[in-house]
Chains A and B, each alone.
Chain A
Amino acid sequence: MDKRDMDIMNIRCLDEKTLSSYLDERLSDAERKKIEGHIADCDTCLDMLLAAYESRGRGKKCPAILNNRIKNRLGLKQAKKRPELKWFFPALFFFALSFIVKHYFLQFLAISVILGFKWVMEGEGAKRVIMIFKGIQEKEKKVERKSPPDVSNIAGGDRYGKPE
């Protein structure tokens, strides 16, 4: 058992609540001294407290997929995501407009197609398709890199040998 394991196993170590209270700044002098008396000799607790101090304001948001995994594990209901419609309605509007203002039919139709394309591409389904497509492409590239050139059919034998 190394020093770190011994420190972890140390039953004299302060519990999580007591240790974190050191950073709360509301302790009496006696309480502070008691904690300081321990962390002065316990490098594990001192380092843990220091890491907690350094983590203030750090730690970006976790990916939604992890948060959702935790929520599912706890059995929390998750708010259903509203479909992304900010591109859909303008696309529909310009599509309708192209038939109303026939003079600019093609222009409005083109705008409608562009907005429609944006709507499709920002949808979850489209994102998934893009990810699958990229995955396949990367896999193909790896296979190309790995496969050695086929030299079996080259006439003239190997590099040092004579032709059969």
Chain B
Amino acid sequence: MFDNTHDLIERCIKREEKAWSEFIDRFSGLVYYSASQRLKRDGFRFNEQDVQDIVQNVFVDIWEKSKLAEVRERNKIQAWLSIVGQTRALNFMRKKKERLLSEEELFSVENIISDRGAEYRAELIEELEKAVEEFPPREKIVLKLNIIHGKTHKEIAEFMNIPINTVSTIIARRKELLRKALTNLKV
């Protein structure tokens, strides 16, 4: 019905019910995916109901606070929605953690976060932070994306909107230095 996202968002801002219905149908999957990815990446243990509550909170919040009106790029709303989903997911888990702490269910809090994967990641990040401390921001991002997140040169170039040659040059130039710094890390 609404082929154009810009048009859909404009109508949502005017609070047209059909547009909102379409907006929910079209983007709830993206919010669901982003929220669950965030919880997975941060090592939270969660269930289906948690994610469903987060998704509902996101849409209720956007509706009640008329947040769509604040969006500048109305035809490119995915990145914003994804980030909103992720931040709400983190807030939700933080509140859940606080609630459980207040109920003195410490054993349950331990069950929410699994730190095994995060431990190695934190160690790797720490070592890399030290090694790249003096590098310019752009180079830092390229190296982190390549080493910690395992992104290819092409993906990094696309993500940062820079030529792939720039990415390859940065990685090639800093590779030797980083190899020495990161060999101390026991895997």
> Interface residues, chain A, CB within 8 Å of chain B?
3-5, 8, 16-17, 19-26, 32-33, 36-37, 39-41, 43, 46-56, 58-62, 66-67, 69-71, 73-74, 76-79
Q: Are A52 and B34 in contact (CB under 8 A)?
A: yes
Known: A67-B28, A70-B60, A71-B24. A59 touches B34 (CB 8 A): yes
Q: Which listed residue, B34, B60, B87, B141, touches A74 by the CB 8 Å rule? A: B60
Q: How far is the CB of A144 from chain B (nearest CB, A)?
A: 27
Q: Are A52 and B79 in contact (CB under 8 A)?
A: yes
> Interface residues, chain B, CB within 8 Å of chain A?
17, 20-21, 24-25, 28-34, 37-38, 41-42, 52, 55-56, 59-60, 63, 70-73, 76, 78-80, 82-84, 86-87, 90, 94, 118, 122, 125, 137-138, 140-141, 144-145, 149, 151, 159-161
Complex Cα gap A47–B37 (Å): 11
Q: Which residues of A contact B94 (CB under 8 A)?
A: 5, 8
Complex Cα gap A16–B38 (Å): 15
Nearest residue (CB) in B for A16 is B83
**20 A-B residue contacts at CB 8 Å?**
A25-B161, A36-B160, A40-B137, A46-B141, A49-B159, A51-B86, A52-B78, A55-B33, A55-B37, A55-B78, A56-B79, A59-B29, A59-B32, A60-B29, A66-B52, A67-B25, A69-B52, A70-B24, A70-B28, A76-B17
Q: How far is the CB of B138 from chain A (nearest CB, A)?
A: 6
Interface core residue of A36, A39, A52 (most chain B CB under 10 Å): A52
Q: Which residues of B contact A50 (CB under 8 A)?
A: 145, 149, 151, 159
Q: Are B141 and A24 in contact (CB under 8 A)?
A: no
Q: Are A55 and B80 in contact (CB under 8 A)?
A: no
For the complex of A and B, 3 pairs with smallest distance between CB atoms: A59-B33, A40-B137, A52-B82
Q: Are B72 and A55 in contact (CB under 8 A)?
A: no
Q: Are A76 and B159 in contact (CB under 8 A)?
A: no
Q: Are A73 and B56 in contact (CB under 8 A)?
A: yes
Q: Are B140 and A51 in contact (CB under 8 A)?
A: no
Q: Are A20 and B83 in contact (CB under 8 A)?
A: yes
Known: A17-B70, A69-B52. A55 touches B25 (CB 8 A): no
Complex Cα gap A79–B20 (Å): 13
Q: Which listed residue, A3, A16, A23, A43, touches B84 by the CB 8 Å rule? A: A16
Q: Which listed residue, B28, B38, B60, touches A48 by the CB 8 Å rule? A: B38
Complex Cα gap A59–B38 (Å): 13
Q: Are B80 and A48 in contact (CB under 8 A)?
A: no
Q: Which residues of B contact A67 (CB under 8 A)?
A: 24-25, 28
Complex Cα gap A61–B138 (Å): 35
Q: Which residues of A contact B71 (CB under 8 A)?
A: 17
Complex Cα gap A74–B28 (Å): 14
Complex Cα gap A53–B38 (Å): 12
Nearest residue (CB) in A for B73 is A24
Q: Are A51 and B41 in contact (CB under 8 A)?
A: yes
Q: Which listed residue, A49, A69, A78, touches B56 by the CB 8 Å rule? A: A69
Q: How far is the CB of A150 from chain B (nearest CB, A)?
A: 35
Complex Cα gap A18–B72 (Å): 10
Q: Are B79 and A71 in contact (CB under 8 A)?
A: no
Nearest residue (CB) in B for A56 is B78
Q: How far is the CB of A19 from chain B (nearest CB, A)?
A: 6
